[in-house]
């Protein structure tokens, strides 16, 4: 199943975080988690002293890679002091999916069987927004969603070996938006461009609501995606630490 390229591009961009706090307790929980991620985000703010160290060691190091290795060691130390990289997420009661999380990958896979259907969800790293980007963009739903952090999802629903449905979704705190819907056929050549229907937002509102209910029944609901926000934030911290250690090993070899 080939995930949509649009979601892959959006999922690869992680923006620094300052999450707006929403009224309910769950919203406060998600906002606190996103703020915690911002404190350990991949940026120079994580270890500001590391970069001043470059100036000091560049004139004293005898090997060409010494200053870079010292910066990496400082970054690793800061990342290890973060609480996010070693947190163990407790799967909530009623979570219907089996999680497959391979270190070194920026996505996780969720799988389940439902009444003869195979359901697979590809969950990407969170897309985090900052309060600095908030502006007077109107009061419509798109403006409100644009100021919230989210996670991209690709939901595939199939029966046996035939064609399958693929939903491109964006999960916000307590809300899931369907961005696109397409029918995938394994027998179609990649050179062919099949008709995939109109934009989802152009469908009749009753049909849109029916599709939202369709994926909700199969487990794509806010109670699951709010947990996935937390899971992916912690995964990002773990992957960053692993990435730093791999860099140190390669450069120091």
| CATH code for the domain in which residue 103 is found | 3.10.280.10
Q: Is residue 242 in a domain?
A: no
Q: Is residue 71 in a domain?
A: no
The residue-averaged pLDDT of 22-26 equals 36
- Quick one: how far is CA 74 from the chain centroid? 26
* Mean pLDDT over the full length of the chain: 77
Cβ 210 vs Cβ 201: under 8 Å: no
Cross-strand partners of 194: none
- Does residue 42 register a pLDDT over 60? no
The string of pLDDT tens digits covering residues 159-195 is 988 899 999 999 999 999 999 999 998 877 777 787 8
The string of pLDDT tens digits covering residues 115-161 is 999 999 999 999 887 665 544 555 566 656 667 889 999 999 999 88
Predicted pLDDT at 194: 76
Q: Which range has the top average pLDDT, 9-18, 101-110, 194-203?
A: 101-110
Number of domains in the chain: 1
Nearest to 7 by CA among 159, 142, 182, 133: 182
The residue-averaged pLDDT of 42-63 equals 51
Count how many residues are written for the chain. 253
Q: Is residue 151 in a domain?
A: yes
Predicted pLDDT at 15: 35
Predicted pLDDT at 34: 40
Q: Is residue 24 in a domain?
A: yes
Predicted pLDDT at 144: 63
Q: Is residue 138 in a domain?
A: yes
Nearest to 211 by CA among 193, 198, 224: 198
Predicted pLDDT at 150: 94
- Does residue 46 register a pLDDT over 70? no
Q: Is residue 111 in a domain?
A: yes
Q: Which residue has the tokens 């739903």?
A: 141
Selected residue with higher pLDDT from 201 and 22: 201
- Does residue 221 register a pLDDT over 60? yes
Specify the range with the lowest mean pLDDT, choosing from 15-29, 156-170, 234-248.
15-29
Q: Is residue 123 in a domain?
A: yes
- Does residue 14 register a pLDDT over 80? no
Range of the domain at 212: 5-39+85-236
Please write down the HEC assignment for all residues of the chain.
CCCCHHHHHHHCCCCCCCCCCCCCHHHHHHHHHHHHHHHCCCCHHHCHHHHHHHHHHHCCCCCCCHHHHHHHHHHHHHHHHCCCCCCCCCCCCCCCCEEECCCCCCCEEEEEEECCEEEEEEECCCECCCHHHCCCCCCCHHHHHHCCCEEEEEEEEECCCCCEEEEEEEEECCEEEEEEEEEECCCCCCCCCCCCCCCHHHCCHHHHHHHHHHHHHCCCCHHHHHHHHHHHHHHHHHHHHHHHHHHHHHHHC
Q: Is residue 73 in a domain?
A: no
């Amino acid at each position: 199943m080939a995930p949509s390229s649009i979601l892959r591009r959006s999922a690869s961009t992680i923006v620094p975080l300052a999450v707006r706090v929403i009224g309910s307790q769950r919203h406060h929980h998600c906002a606190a988690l996103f703020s915690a991620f911002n404190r350990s985000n991949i940026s120079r703010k994580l270890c500001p002293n590391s970069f001043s160290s470059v100036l000091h060691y560049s004139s004293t190091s005898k090997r060409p890679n010494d200053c870079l290795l010292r910066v990496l060691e400082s970054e690793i130390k800061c990342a290890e002091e973060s609480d996010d990289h070693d947190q163990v997420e407790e799967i909530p009661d009623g979570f219907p999916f089996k999680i497959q999380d391979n270190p070194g990958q920026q996505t996780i896979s969720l799988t389940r069987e439902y009444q003869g259907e195979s359901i697979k969800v590809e969950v990407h790293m969170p897309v985090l927004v900052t309060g600095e980007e908030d502006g007077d963009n109107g009061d419509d739903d798109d403006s409100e969603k644009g100021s919230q952090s989210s996670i991209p999802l690709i939901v595939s629903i199939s029966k046996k070996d035939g064609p399958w449905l693929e939903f491109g979704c964006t999960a916000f705190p307590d809300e899931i938006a369907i961005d696109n819907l397409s029918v995938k056929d394994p027998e179609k050549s990649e050179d062919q461009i099949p008709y995939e229907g109109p934009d989802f937002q152009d469908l009749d509102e009753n049909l849109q609501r029916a599709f939202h209910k369709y994926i909700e029944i199969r487990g794509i609901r806010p109670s699951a995606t709010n947990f996935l926000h937390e899971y992916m934030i912690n995964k990002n911290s773990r992957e960053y630490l692993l990435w730093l250690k791999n860099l140190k090993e390669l450069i120091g070899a």
